[in-house]
A and B are shown apart, each in its own frame.
Chain A
Amino acid sequence: QVQLVQSGSELKKPGASVKISCKASGYTFGTYPLTWVRQAPGQGLEWMGWINTNTGNPTFAQDFTGRFVLSLDTSVSTAYLQINSLKAEDTAVYYCARDRGLTAAGAPRFYRFYVMDVWGQGTTVTVSS
């Protein structure tokens, strides 16, 4: 079945880097972009950015530029989120999700409504000295 499986929890010190993986299975990897979402403790969901799984081109939300890197290894159908120069405020659960365009009744056939239809299980990153 279609699934995204993320790497395990990480405990890091401030200033270090972390690289989270998201392995796709059950579909052709390059068909859909992958997007990343953060949930800090006690907070809501924040969209971080997405990566084109054909070209590897990343796009980031305004609050996630600079220290954040999105990359791919298409040979193993895996996307990566790397966070450099970690800060305590990076402590959060990070999710990857498949970004898919759906058609809907009443809309032109060519029009796509973009959703996050399949999610990874989440990776907890804790930054603490």
Chain B
Amino acid sequence: DIQMTQSPSSLSASVGDRVTITCRASQTVGRSVNWYQHQPGKAPKLLIYAASNLQTGVPSRFSGFGSGTDFTLTITSLQLEDFATYYCQQSSSAHQFTFGQGTKVEIK
């Protein structure tokens, strides 16, 4: 099974900061990596798909990069509503998914 390892597991940042989260796959997954935002008490929300494609309606301060085994999610100019837990997810086999363990972004 493909494992997804995120780092860091948590971080503290201030409004306006630039934040980068990394995700490494245990084997190559091409560009089949998605990123989700999960706020407490809400359903997860798709932010980025296919490594770098912004889902409709997601602010442009979110961006993704990577291919193969190494991927990043960057949030430029962090906003209050961005404090949440972020998950990478691989989907290299149709309908089979694996999540990373999550990165909690907290207010400094």
Interface residues, chain A, with chain B CB atoms under 8 Å away: 33, 35, 37, 44-47, 50, 59, 61-62, 95, 97, 99, 101-102, 104-105, 107, 112-117, 119-122
User: A105 CA to B53 CA in the complex, in Å?
Assistant: 8
Question: Which B residues lie at the A interface, using CB under 8 A?
Answer: 1, 31-32, 34, 36, 38, 43-46, 49-50, 53, 55, 85, 87, 89, 91, 94-102
> By DSSP majority rule, is chain B's interface helix, strand, loop, or mixed?
strand
A-B contact count (CB 8 A): 76
Contact A104 B34, beta carbon cutoff 8 Å: no
Question: Could you tell me if B101 and A119 are in contact, using CB atoms closer than 8 angstroms?
Answer: no
Interface of A, helix, strand, loop or mixed by DSSP: strand
Closest 8 pairs between A and B when the two form their complex, measured CB to CB: A119-B43, A104-B50, A113-B50, A47-B97, A114-B91, A44-B102, A45-B99, A115-B49
Which of B1, B31, B100: most chain A Cβ within 10 A? B31
